[in-house]
Amino acid sequence: MSEEPEITERGAQPYVAIAASVTMATLGSVVPPLNGEVFAWLATRGIAPVGPPFWRYTVVDMAHSLEVEAGVAVASPVAGDDGRVLAGVLPAGRYVTVRHVGAPESLADATGRLLSWAEARDLRFDTDGTRWGCRLEIYLTDPAVQPDMTKWETELSFRLAD
């Protein structure tokens, strides 16, 4: 994975998550605790995650609301639980991917650069404008290990249209 955008192939990946509807103003306070809740849900069932936590943006309407899933990949499909924890599969396909190093506040700029890079190459994303087929922020750094947010690594991975 590069600090410059590149096109990568991703296989289908089972995951579990908790969904939330938020605004840009509430995103940072509502969604982060959900990752911990997902990991706790897995632990009580004896299911090991197979990757770092991620946020999957299913709806991005910056002026109004965002639909976000705070999740983690699992080795094989599992059933969700009582309407709170959902289970799904991240779709296989071609993705534009980039590694970003920096504090969470700088992810908006990194996202803008990724989108501009793709536009300059006439690449189309799997989106209808607000609803996305798969738009991921994958959090590669454990804050308990690296408390300096300016050193956090995040992978942005946005699925391309077929």
Lowest model confidence (mean pLDDT) among 25-29, 136-140, 153-157:
25-29
- Give residue-wise pLDDT tens across range 46-103: 999 999 999 999 999 888 899 999 999 999 999 877 689 999 999 999 999 999 999 9
Q: Does domain 6-159 have CATH number 3.30.300.30?
A: no
Annotated domain spans of the chain: 6-159
Burial of 147 (0-12, 13-18, 19+ CB in 10 A): exposed
List the one residue out of 119, 121, 118, 129 whose CA is nearest residue 157: 118
Among 97, 98, 100, 96, smallest CA distance to 152 is for 100
* Residue 132 in this model has a pLDDT that exceeds 50: yes
> Which pTM was predicted?
0.93
Interval 18-40 mean pLDDT: 91
